[in-house]
Structure 1
Amino acid sequence: MMSKNFIEIEMQSHAKGGGSFSCSADFVLDNVKIHFRRIPVKIDTGCAISTIPLRRLTKSPWECYLLKRNDIVNNVPAIRSYGVETAGSKHEKVETYRQKMHCKALKI
């Protein structure tokens, strides 16, 4: 159930302890002309920002490359985020086009 103030999702317990929050979501991304429906998502309650890994939603690495390139060229605001996908490692500040294209921590 969803309201303007919160999302209510029942925690799924894990056999080894703890649990996680998963559900299906419908959404549209600003620069992708597809309405995604009933996409399985996992809610990370320990993360300060939410990210959607586009590579998991499309079969084309080339399409992801082009979208990232276009966003960087058009100065779309981006942040660096660290977590499982970056193995928790810190990265140097990215400034050049090449650095941004190679940075796995860059979220647009």
Structure 2
Amino acid sequence: MYLPLPIYWALYDQQGSVWLIQGIQMDCRIWGNTLLLPDQIHLLNPVLCLILIPLFQIIIYPCLSKCFNVSLLRKMVVGGIIACLSFVATGILQLEIN
């Protein structure tokens, strides 16, 4: 059960280095001329946590619990799958940049 954790944290720690370099190589313009700098992209993680945690606790999990049992283990598995897919998407993006 704990076997994927070192792999996850090794990939997660790349946010401060490799993903910053990837952000430098990208065109980070959003909404016309508004430019999102690579250093500012790291700010999105805590901001999204502050927004998404209450959203999931108040709206999404109660709605899902009406359809099926939402246990802590299921939340962890789904979160791990989403994290895995995000790492794959980052790898594909890097291949496109190169």
With normalisation by structure 1, the TM-score equals: 0.24
Length-normalised TM-score, structure 2: 0.25
Structure number with the higher helix fraction is: 2
